Amino acid sequence: AGIAPCPGSGGFQLRRELGSGRSSPRPVMEPGNLLCGGASVAAVLPAGGSGERLGAAIPKQFCALLGRPLISYTVRALERIRWISDIVVVVSLENIETMKSIIEKYGHKRITVVEGGITRHRSIFNGLKIFPESKPSSCPLQKPEVVIIHDAVRPFVEEDILLKVVLAAIEHGAAGAIRPLVSTVVASSADGSLDHSLERARYRASEMPQAFLFDIIYQAYHQCTDYDLDYGTECLHLALKYCKTNAKLIEGSPDLWKVTYKRDLYAAESVIKDNLSQQVCVTTDMKEDAVQLGFLLHETLKSEVKQVKGISVFLCKNDNHLQNIFLGQCYNFICINAKKSDINETQQLVDILENARISVLHPVVLISVHLNVSENMSFSSGIEELAAIKEFAREVKKKNILVYGLLIHYNKDDPKLQETINSAAAIISALIKDRNPELIGQIATAH
Give pLDDT tens digits for 409-433. Answer: 888 888 889 999 999 999 999 999 9
CB 361 within 8 A of CB 404: no
Residues 343-372: pLDDT tens digits? 888 888 899 889 888 899 999 999 999 887
What is the phi-psi region of residue 411: left when phi exceeds 0, alpha when psi lies from -120 to 50, beta otherwise?
Answer: beta
**Confidence at 291, pLDDT banded by 50, 70, 90:** confident
- pLDDT tens for 196-231 read 999 888 899 999 999 999 999 999 999 999 999 999
pLDDT tens, position by position, 310-327: 665 555 545 566 666 666
The torsion region of residue 66 among left (phi > 0), alpha (psi -120 to 50) and beta comes to left
- Do β-strands 204-213 and 146-149 pair in parallel, antiparallel, or remain unpaired? antiparallel
Residues in the chain: 447
Domains in the chain: boundaries: 31-184+198-270, 277-446
**pLDDT tens string 48-103:** 876 555 556 789 999 999 999 999 999 999 999 999 999 999 999 999 999 999 99
What number of CA atoms fall less than 13 Å from residue 83's CA on the CB side?
Answer: 21
Distance, CA of 243 to CA of 389 (rounded, Å): 64
Helix (H), strand (E) at residue 301: none
Percent of the chain with pLDDT over 70: 81
- The pTM (predicted TM-score) of the whole model is 0.85
In DSSP notation, 22-42 reads: -SSPPPPPPGGGGGGTT--EE
Residue 252, classed as helix, strand or coil, is coil
Q: What is the pLDDT of residue 320?
A: 62
CATH 3.90.550.10, domain 31-184+198-270, yes or no: yes
Instruction: Classify 277-446 by CATH class.
Output: alpha beta
